[in-house]
Amino acid sequence: MRAFVFPGQGSQAVGMGRELAEAFPTARLVFEEVDDALSQKLSRLMFEGDERDLTLTENAQPALMAVSLAVVRVLEQEGGFELAERASFVAGHSLGEYSALCAARCLGLDDTARLLKRRGLAMQRAVPVGTGAMAALLGLELEAVRAIAEAARTDPETGLEEVCAPANDNAPGQVVVSGHKDAVDRAVALAAEQGARRSIILPVSAPFHCALMQPAADEMAEALGEVTLAPPAAPLISNVTASPQSDPAAIRRLLVEQVTGLVRWRESVAAMRALGVEQLVELGAGKVLTGLARRIDRELSAVAIGQPAEVESFLRAE
Catalytic annotation, residues: 94, 209
**Cα 71 from Cα 74, distance rounded (Å):** 5
Residue 180 DSSP SS3? strand
**Cα 206 from Cα 124, distance rounded (Å):** 6
Question: CB 37: neighbour CB atoms within 10 A?
Answer: 19
- How do 198-201 and 2-6 pair as beta strands? unpaired
Amino acid at 130: G
Task: Name the DSSP letter for residue 152.
Answer: H
Amino acid at 4: F
**Alpha-carbon 8 to chain mean position:** 3
Contact 61, 95 (CB under 8 A): yes
* Strand spans (E) along the chain: 2-6, 89-92, 132-138, 164-171, 174-180, 198-201, 236-237, 244-245, 279-283, 301-305
Contact 95, 258 (CB under 8 A): no
